[in-house]
Amino acid sequence: MSCLFCRIIAGEIPGSRVYEDAELVAFDDIHPQAPMHVLIVPRVHVPTLNEVDPSHDALVGSMIRRAAAIAAERGYAEGGYRTVFNCNAQAGQTVFHIHLHLLGGRTLAWPPG
Ligand code: 5GP
Ligand code: ZN
């Protein structure tokens, strides 16, 4: 298995898991860009947002709602937080298994870099 996130999901590489269920795993980013930087990752391997199709609609909804739930648990619901999917090279995607970044705990600039 060559995909890094498939390996983390399978437990082959240790990660600091913050949530898991039948569809999703969430773990702390190894290079956090904010006090909270969690990656919400589906167990199914989908390389980029370009390969998301209607069969994934419920899954993507679950990812977004899970991000909101983790943010709320950590006290960031009121103050605010950011969710990001990077898609392909120009957006800076480096791991080709879709993941939703959840960032919070500091003021986040807009537009992003
Ligand atoms: P992308 O740049 O593809 O949107 O995001 C990939 C993210 O995965 C980066 O923020 C990077 O820090 C994180 N990452 C890369 N390798 C590992 C790893 O082995 N473990 C964890 N927990 N995160 C990783
Ligand atoms: Zn994968």
Q: Is 99 a catalytic residue?
A: yes
CATH numbers and ranges of domains, the chain: 4-104 (3.30.428.10)
109: phi then psi, degrees, rounded to nearest 5: -70, 155
In this predicted model, what pLDDT tens digit does every residue of 30-77 receive, in sequence order?
A: 999 999 999 999 999 999 999 999 999 999 999 999 999 999 999 999
Q: Which atom of ligand 1 is nearest to the CA of 31?
A: 12
Confidence of residue 15 (pLDDT cuts 50, 70, 90): confident
Compute the average pLDDT of residues 79-92.
98
Q: Report how far Cα 88 is from the mean position of its chain's Cα atoms.
A: 15
pLDDT at 66: 98
The mean pLDDT of the chain is 97
Mutate to test the pocket of ligand 1, among 94, 96, 98 (most ligand atoms within 8 A of CB): 94
The pLDDT > 70 percentage for the chain reads: 99
Q: Please, which residues have CB less than 5 A from ligand 2, an ion?
A: 3, 5-6, 45, 97
108 within ligand 1 shell (Cβ under 6 A): no
